[in-house]
Amino acid sequence: MNRRQFLGNMLKTACGVGLVGLGLGAYSKRASSMPANYIRPPGALPEEDFLGACIRCGLCVRDCPYDILFLGEVGDEVATGTPYFIARSGPCEMCEDIPCVVACPTNALDHELKDIEESRMGLAVVIDQENCIAFHGLRCEVCFNVCPIRGRAISLDMQHNTRSGKHALFIPVVHSEACTAVDCVNVPAFWKRLPSRSFRCIWQKASWASITVWAGRRKTKRARHWSHPTPSIVTTYPKGCVTTCKVKV
């Protein structure tokens, strides 16, 4: 091989690898967005930092006593090999000794997190007030009762029931400064096990109330871990509702 061929080959290789690099860069951009129902384990750094820190070893997954953590598979909406849980199917049980964090070799799960109640895995948001029966005057309160830090993370806000005129509404309110987003988001799944029709109200389209969770964390490198987006709760009542609730339990 002469010098010219050698340089030519080198250039070709460099160009090819450069293209691979561009492709990888673009792919990583796409892969770093995560759907809201995928939640990182406690102590996880903000998503961008997390993706640079997590070496996809799965030690957190192995040390979780409740087996709620999974590693993203190729084709999942979460970056390949990174740990997540889905609160609806298996919420974090908020272990006091936080074994998942202890197991992490890279600080992708920040070892400075010592108190599990300080973790901010996400934020529960009441997304479907039309179907949350608390908004219709029923005292459900399941979400409140399952919350491990109820009173601080979620409270029941007593309001006047303007529709009946004489009852109270106990509205679940999530407080972003304390919510870790673990259990209340499980509520709809819990409700499905109840005889569903008995809780149905007269609005036929009603299914089940939903509290969901936002896993979004602010995308700034500066703001060190677990900062929340601000929830926006818009109160909407079912369209055209004029009657009071006639639920038969």
Partner 1 sequence: MVDLTTLGDDAIAAKGWFKSHKFLILRRLSQLGILALFLAGPWFGLWIVKGNLASSLTLDFLPLTDPYVLLQAMLSGVVPETAAIIGVVIVLLFYFLVGGRVYCSWVCPVNMVTDLAAWLRRKLGIRTTSQISRTTRYWMLVLTLILPLVVTGGIVWELVNPVSMMFRGIVFSMGAAWVMIAGIFLFDLLVAKDGWCGHICPVGAFYNLVGSKSPLKVNALQRQACNDCMECYVVCPEPQVIKPALKGEKKGLSPVILSSDCTNCGRCIDICAKDVFSYGGRHAIKIDEYKREDEINRGVRV
Q: What's 78-89 look like in SS3?
A: CCCCCEEECCCC
| Local structure of residue 186 (DSSP, 8 states) | G
Among 36, 66, 81, 141, indicate the residue that binds partner 1 (CB under 8 A): 81
User: Please, which residue, 107 or 164, has the CB nearer to partner 1?
Assistant: 107
Determine the Cα–Cα distance for residues 143 and 151; give it in Å rounded to an integer: 11
Residue owning tokens 């400075």:
112
Q: Answer positive or negative: Cα dihedral of 46, 51, 57, 61.
A: positive
CA atoms within 13 A on the CB side of 57: 15
- The partner in contact with residue 149, picked from ligand SF4, partner 1, none with C-beta cut-offs of 5 to 8 angstroms by kind, is none
- The partner in contact with residue 64, picked from ligand SF4, partner 1, none with C-beta cut-offs of 5 to 8 angstroms by kind, is ligand SF4
CA atoms within 13 A on the CB side of 243: 6
- The partner in contact with residue 51, picked from partner 1, ligand SF4, none with C-beta cut-offs of 5 to 8 angstroms by kind, is partner 1
Bridge-based pairing of strands 211-214 and 123-126 is antiparallel
Among 35, 48, 145, 151, indicate the residue that binds partner 1 (CB under 8 A): 48
Residue 58 interacts with ligand SF4 (CB under 6 A): yes or no: yes
Residue 92 interacts with ligand SF4 (CB under 6 A): yes or no: yes
Determine the Cα–Cα distance for residues 245 and 164; give it in Å rounded to an integer: 8
Residue 61 interacts with partner 1 (CB under 8 A): yes or no: yes
Backbone angles phi and psi of 155, in degrees to 5 = -135, 165
Residue 103 interacts with ligand SF4 (CB under 6 A): yes or no: yes
Bridge-based pairing of strands 123-126 and 83-84 is unpaired
Determine the Cα–Cα distance for residues 196 and 208; give it in Å rounded to an integer: 8
User: Please, which residue, 152 or 218, has the CB nearer to partner 1?
Assistant: 218
Q: How far is the CB of 181 from ligand SF4 (least distance, A)?
A: 11
Among 62, 139, 152, 224, indicate the residue that binds partner 1 (CB under 8 A): 62
Residues that bind ligand SF4 (CB under 6 A): 41-42, 54-60, 64, 66, 68-69, 83, 92-95, 98-100, 103-106, 108-109, 116
Residues that bind partner 1 (CB under 8 A): 9-10, 12-14, 16-18, 20-21, 24-25, 27-29, 31-32, 47-59, 61-63, 70-71, 73-76, 79-81, 103-108, 111
